[in-house]
Structure formats: structure tokens, C-alpha cells
Amino acid sequence: MNNRTNVAVTPSITTTRFIKCVTVGDGAVGKTSLLISYTTNTFPTDYIPTVFDNFSANVMVDGKTVNLGLWDTAGQEDYNRLRPLSYRGADVFLLCFSLISRPSFENIAKKWVPELRHYAPSVPIVLVGTKLDLREDQQFLLNYPGACTISTKQGEELKRQIGAVVYIECSSKTQQACSFSKKLLLQLPTKAILEASLALLSVG
């Protein structure tokens, strides 16, 4: 298990809360890249299947420092029995699919939501569409004519279908993320947790 930590918080700033954020989704959709991109400002070029990795990041929420414990899980079926061990104590799930992979999109409702609701029925879900840069990359689409992209509208519809609190599209490579509604977050009881998660996705 690897532990990667971003720049430490200065002694004058007090960490007011620890939040456990668990990324979930099919293998190779970009979960690890998302966390590495945020915590190190670099984009990994090699794909190494994850078993379990822990990351740590500090974000500002309402002028206070929140420590995000970022748990990276394996999406492959070989780890179906081990993966739920990481769900205990989770405050929020980042449920990820690739914007250039129809199977990963379909597995959100078919596989991942049932699993999360079985083990952690009350934990909020942030739905994340990854690899946004490739959905808009004409050269990629020419090189892979069979690629089936997922539109923002389809992502929003899936968000409503599964009861996720918010939907975000992002690119770990460019650190690009779509904007989100502050008004929505202000109406949610888990505001601090969600804003911390969204801060993770909105750096760039």
C-alpha cells in the first residue's frame, strides 16, 4: 500500500476535520490518475492496476482546513471481496466512469450503486465522469472510431437515476473540471464533506 501526501499544512493552520473519501468505479477509468493529479500536480503515464492506495490532501472549506483521506480502490472483479473493506467509515464516495467508455458508464447503475448501497446505504455519492479531455479530442476520436462517448446530458440523467448529490466531468491530465452549483451545496446537510470533495475535483 502506498501513501502519498501533498504539501503539509503549516503549523498555524488547524485541521478541523478528517474526511474519508473513497473512489470507486471500473478498472482503468482514471481513479488513480485523478488522485495523483490532485495530490502531486502530475499526470501518471503508465497504467498500474490498483489494489488499495491511500492519499492525503488538505483543502480549504469556509476558511478552515479539512484533511481529505483519499482511498483508491480496485475496480477489477478479482477484488470484489476485498474492496468493500475500504467502505467502512466513508464520508463520501467519488463514483467514477470514463466519458469515453460506455461499459464503465453502464456499470455505474448496474454494478457500483447496488454495491455501495449494500455496504454503505447512507453515504452520499458524487458522480464523476473522467477523461474529459479525450471526449473533446478530435484526434483521439479519429484514432478510435469505435469509441462511444458519454454526453453531459447523459451524465446528468444518470446522476438523477442513482440519486447522486452532484455530477462533475473532469480531466486528470489537464486538471479541467466543470463548474458546480454552490447553491445546491448550501442546501445539503453534508455541505462540508461535499465541498471538500468538489475542491478536490476543481483544482486547476
How many structural domains compose the chain?
A: 1
pLDDT over 50 (residue 40): yes
pLDDT band at 17 (very low <50, low <70, confident <90, very high): confident
Domain span at residue 120? 3-201
Question: CB of 92 within 8 A of CB of 25?
Answer: no
pLDDT of residue 9 exceeding 70, the answer is: no
14: pLDDT confidence band, cut at 50, 70 and 90?
A: low
Q: Which pTM does this prediction carry? A: 0.79
* pLDDT grade for 192, boundaries at 50, 70 and 90: low
Q: Give the separation between CA 65 and CA 72, rounded to whole angstroms.
A: 22
Give the rounded distance of the alpha carbon of 126 from its chain centre: 7
Check which CATH number belongs to the domain holding 91 and give it.
Answer: 3.40.50.300
N residues, the chain:
204
